[in-house]
Chains A and B, each alone.
Chain A
Amino acid sequence: MIPELAQLALSLALMLALLTGGFGLWQVTRPEPPLVYLARGMAGSSVLVFSLILASFGALVASFVLSDFSVLNVAENSNILLPLPYKIAASWGSHEGSLLLWTLMLSGWTAAVALFSSRLAPGFRIRVLGVLLILQFAFVGFLLTSSNPFGRLLPAAVSGRDLNPLLQDPIMVSHPPLLYMGYVGFAVSFAFAVAALLEGRLDPTWARWSRPWANAAWSFLTVGILLGSWWAYTVLGWGGWWFWDPVENASLLPWLAGTALIHSLAVTDKRDALKSWTVLLAMVTFALSLLGTFLVRSGVLTSVHAFAADPKRGILILALLVLVIGFSFVLYAARTGKVGLGGQFSWRSRESLLLINNVLMVSALAAVMLGTLYPLVIEVLTGNKMSVGPPYFNAVFAPLLLPAVWLMAIAPYSQWKSMPLGEAMRAMLWPLLGAMLVTGLTIWRWGKPSLLLVLGLAAAVTLAYATVAQARQQLAKLRRHGGSVLLSDRARQLGMSYWGMIVAHVGIAVFVAGVTLVKTYEVERDLVMAPGQTESLGEWRLTFIGVDSVPGPNYQAGHGVFELTRGSGREITLIEPEKRQFTAGGQVITQAAIEAGFFGDVYVSLGEPVAADRASSRPSEQAWSVRMYLKPFINWIWWGCALMAIGGIMTLFDKRYKRLRARPVVAEPAR
């Protein structure tokens, strides 16, 4: 009964989204429409559609929690033995469930726009909500026609097939929802851009309204990617955190475009410049989010993410993608002339620095896209299979993005429109000296000098130093100009937008330092260890105690125990990696044990029992192959990403958005 009701709710949402979205977009073009009532009605309908989809998603979760194996989706992706959190997570573990989650996120963002946009000019509001409702219509339609999560299985299965064991991990529970929050969040800036083009008018108000939404989406996407990477590090058992796998690249593409977008929106907001470019980026970012969904969910790429591949679905998602991209680009081509380029600026200005950021981001985007899509295109055209190796991405990425890090250090010192270059350069003096000192000390202490180490670490230190110094300088300036004596008052005066930028940029510095140090100083050893044996790596000593068989909730674990000591230290840490065999499918996964520290991780994972010792039947004497890795500063990668996301979220609490909400916005005349 529950699944049928859920399906009914989805169908109602489908009709409602089409009728109100279509009606609004049609009415608003007619002479003298009842704008205010129409806008209010569409906001109501957006919230209603969200409630309907939320109800049907709730029903799906309920079916999973109750283990209703008469629902095909549940039978294929869950199991009686599955612990409760994973039963819930299994709702979005399948193709159908994850698309429902996608749609839920879309309707959630739409409802949020509806609730927070009451002060927006009604004509514009109608168009924004209309675009979002039509998008929802398309996705709900897709769900119902080809990916129904509520299809029945009769007679019901006795027990389910189980959730892919690789996904049974706490990090994996939160990775998809956050990633989708990010992907789908860019639909809002897309809708703002399309609405502005439909209206044929782009003023700074548009960018001002778009900015917080883009920042929020970008922050969610950052956290989503971070969790995916962290998961790969802990679960796949080989200690990597980024493999340049097409699936990963699919999420990196909208991130790069989104990074360009949030910076370009700043220029359009403050200076009314780069308008056409910003609109284009808003569309490209959402198009890439769709492309990411298509690549990952259509089964084009074989990986953990692509379950039973069904070509019909792939073609439908592709059709949706082509429709959205085609429509928006035709609109762009037709209307962009009306919009105009916007204000002028000198090449020595904050605008041009932000433009260079955009150029570098888009170049990196093009390079990743080439490496990701080229093999697919070739396979379709010639049938030859190939892939692009990580060395390509590494070789291309560092030279494109390191300059961005250097420029980011100068950026906060720059001024809009035009500025004396010398002043900004002088501010770089101390940060550069600091960077040289830190890099020199690092090489003196740990050796292994390389171009990557020097440029990467120096860039990171310069960026962190310059960014923090700039914040101090701003605070001191306020004091001189009669600001409050209290530090907290002056900090508040600078605004959350500013502090968000500072935090996010420091996050980049932490991230770059982490990546550089891990790449340079990581040490890996594959070992064969018998119980009692001690091996050392760097200053760490690892003693193998043995592997025992321990039952888990829905698996049997080979539970390894190791003793870890540092140098000749007395403190012993127990390290317990596992090899889990799942009861339902028999699949084996490796759970690495990680001794995490500020300066780096010791990473131990179990390989396999080594056959040479099979003669000794007692498990306590069994030798195992063991991976032991030292990963210096790898935590900095996670913390760096987390800081970026926190910075993005901080900007949402800027007081100007509160003011925006309080004051009715009537279309300002373009400057």
Chain B
Amino acid sequence: MLNKSRQIRLVWILGLVLAVSATVYSVLRVFNDNLVLFYTPTQLKESPPPGRNYRLGGMVEMGSLVRTGDGLSMRFRVTDQNNVLSVTYTGITPDLFKEGKGVVAQGRLENGIFVASEILAKHDENYMPPKLKQ
């Protein structure tokens, strides 16, 4: 037979355990939803991942950059020396975005064209996606 204060303590502990597990569960769910995977053009061609956002990394092919329409939209091709993928993007690109340089774009594949929502600039001028270095 538990006495009163012990019962109260038990309820507290149970509540705490429940609260902690609920928090951990929801944190992990959000975490899982926001994992952004990184692919090369070859990986995307071989096995296109299911429809959610991911990152494409490679090199902007020389001579492939075309600005279209209002001057903010553009089209370019990303290569990993084996395969090439067309990318469209609307907006202002970071300073390090250039033909012949490495690029990381975030977005999704639509009808074989990668529609980028963001071009990332978090690398220095000599950055190469690791798979290209070999």
**Residues in A lying within 8 Å of B, measured CB to CB:** 164, 236-238, 243, 245, 302-304, 306-307, 363, 367, 370-371, 374, 384-389, 391-392, 395-396, 526, 528, 579, 585, 587-590, 607-608, 610-612, 623, 625, 627
- A residues in contact with B71, CB < 8 Å: 528, 610-612, 623, 625
Q: Is B95 an interface residue (CB 8 A)?
A: yes
Residue of B nearest to A366 (CB): B27
Q: How far is the CA of A386 from the CA of B71 in the complex (A)?
A: 32
**What are 29 contact pairs spanning A and B, CB under 8 A?**
A164-B124, A236-B94, A243-B122, A302-B127, A304-B122, A367-B27, A374-B31, A384-B38, A385-B57, A386-B36, A386-B37, A389-B35, A389-B53, A391-B33, A391-B34, A392-B31, A395-B30, A395-B34, A396-B27, A526-B90, A579-B95, A587-B125, A588-B95, A590-B95, A607-B92, A607-B93, A608-B92, A612-B71, A625-B72
* Contact partner, B37, options A236, A385, A607, A627, Cβ 8 Å: A385
- B residues in contact with A387, CB < 8 Å: 35-36, 38, 55
Are B95 and A589 in contact (CB-based, < 8 A)? yes
Q: How far is the CA of A431 from the CA of B67 in the complex (A)?
A: 54
| CB contact under 8 A between A370 and B31, given known A528-B71, A608-B92 | yes
Are B31 and A384 in contact (CB-based, < 8 A)? no
Residue of B nearest to A613 (CB): B71
A244 to chain B, nearest CB (A): 10
Q: How far is the CA of A623 from the CA of B67 in the complex (A)?
A: 14
Q: A-side binding surface: helix, strand, loop or mixed?
A: mixed
- A residues in contact with B122, CB < 8 Å: 243, 245, 302-304
Q: Is B123 an interface residue (CB 8 A)?
A: yes
- B residues in contact with A385, CB < 8 Å: 37-38, 55, 57, 130
A-B contact count (CB 8 A): 91
- A residues in contact with B115, CB < 8 Å: none
Are A389 and B34 in contact (CB-based, < 8 A)? yes
Are A627 and B30 in contact (CB-based, < 8 A)? no
Extra contacts, 17 of them, besides A371-B31, A385-B57, A392-B34 (Cβ < 8 A), are A164-B124, A237-B94, A302-B122, A303-B122, A306-B124, A367-B27, A385-B130, A388-B34, A388-B36, A392-B30, A528-B71, A587-B125, A608-B92, A612-B71, A623-B71, A625-B92, A627-B92
Q: How far is the CA of A392 from the CA of B32 in the complex (A)?
A: 9
Q: How far is the CA of A587 from the CA of B92 in the complex (A)?
A: 17
Give per-residue flags for B96-126: 1 if the beta carbon is below 8 A from chain A beta carbons, else 0: 0000000000000000000000000111110
Q: How far is the CA of A304 from the CA of B127 in the complex (A)?
A: 10
Q: Is B91 an interface residue (CB 8 A)?
A: yes
Interface residues of B in 33-77 (CB under 8 A from A): 33-38, 53, 55, 57, 67, 70-72
Residue of A nearest to B20 (CB): A363
Q: Is B23 an interface residue (CB 8 A)?
A: yes
**Residues in B lying within 8 Å of A, measured CB to CB:** 23, 27, 30-31, 33-38, 53, 55, 57, 67, 70-72, 90-95, 121-125, 127, 130
Q: How far is the CA of A659 from the CA of B58 in the complex (A)?
A: 63
B51 to chain A, nearest CB (A): 16
Q: How far is the CA of A388 from the CA of B27 in the complex (A)?
A: 13
- A residues in contact with B130, CB < 8 Å: 385
Q: How far is the CA of A384 from the CA of B113 in the complex (A)?
A: 22
- Which of B30, B37, B95, B121 has the most chain A CB atoms inside 10 A of its CB? B95
A76 to chain B, nearest CB (A): 13
Q: How far is the CA of A526 from the CA of B92 in the complex (A)?
A: 7
Residue of B nearest to A585 (CB): B125
- B residues in contact with A243, CB < 8 Å: 122
- A residues in contact with B125, CB < 8 Å: 585, 587
Are A237 and B95 in contact (CB-based, < 8 A)? yes
- A residues in contact with B123, CB < 8 Å: 302-303
Residue of B nearest to A587 (CB): B125
Are A610 and B67 in contact (CB-based, < 8 A)? yes
Q: How far is the CA of A363 from the CA of B27 in the complex (A)?
A: 10
Are B38 and A386 in contact (CB-based, < 8 A)? yes
Q: How far is the CA of A304 from the CA of B90 in the complex (A)?
A: 25
Residue of A nearest to B38 (CB): A385
A162 to chain B, nearest CB (A): 11
B122 to chain A, nearest CB (A): 5
Residue of A nearest to B125 (CB): A587
- A residues in contact with B93, CB < 8 Å: 607-608
Residue of B nearest to A610 (CB): B71
Residue of B nearest to A530 (CB): B71
* 7 residue pairs, one from A and one from B, having the closest CB atoms: A385-B38, A392-B34, A610-B71, A607-B92, A528-B71, A389-B34, A395-B30
Are A528 and B70 in contact (CB-based, < 8 A)? yes
A245 to chain B, nearest CB (A): 6
| CB contact under 8 A between A386 and B35, given known A236-B121, A611-B67, A625-B71 | yes
A290 to chain B, nearest CB (A): 23
Q: How far is the CA of A526 from the CA of B33 in the complex (A)?
A: 29
- B residues in contact with A304, CB < 8 Å: 122, 124
B72 to chain A, nearest CB (A): 6
Q: How far is the CA of A388 from the CA of B123 in the complex (A)?
A: 17
- B residues in contact with A611, CB < 8 Å: 67, 71
B106 to chain A, nearest CB (A): 8
| CB contact under 8 A between A528 and B30, given known A386-B35, A627-B92 | no
- B residues in contact with A371, CB < 8 Å: 31
Are B94 and A238 in contact (CB-based, < 8 A)? yes
B41 to chain A, nearest CB (A): 14
- A residues in contact with B35, CB < 8 Å: 386-389
Q: How far is the CA of A195 from the CA of B123 in the complex (A)?
A: 42
B54 to chain A, nearest CB (A): 8
Are B72 and A528 in contact (CB-based, < 8 A)? yes
Residue of B nearest to A392 (CB): B34
Q: How far is the CA of A589 from the CA of B125 in the complex (A)?
A: 11
- B residues in contact with A363, CB < 8 Å: 23
B30 to chain A, nearest CB (A): 5
A555 to chain B, nearest CB (A): 13
Q: How far is the CA of A590 from the CA of B91 in the complex (A)?
A: 15
Q: How far is the CA of A511 from the CA of B31 in the complex (A)?
A: 26
Q: How far is the CA of A608 from the CA of B31 in the complex (A)?
A: 36
Q: How far is the CA of A374 from the CA of B31 in the complex (A)?
A: 10
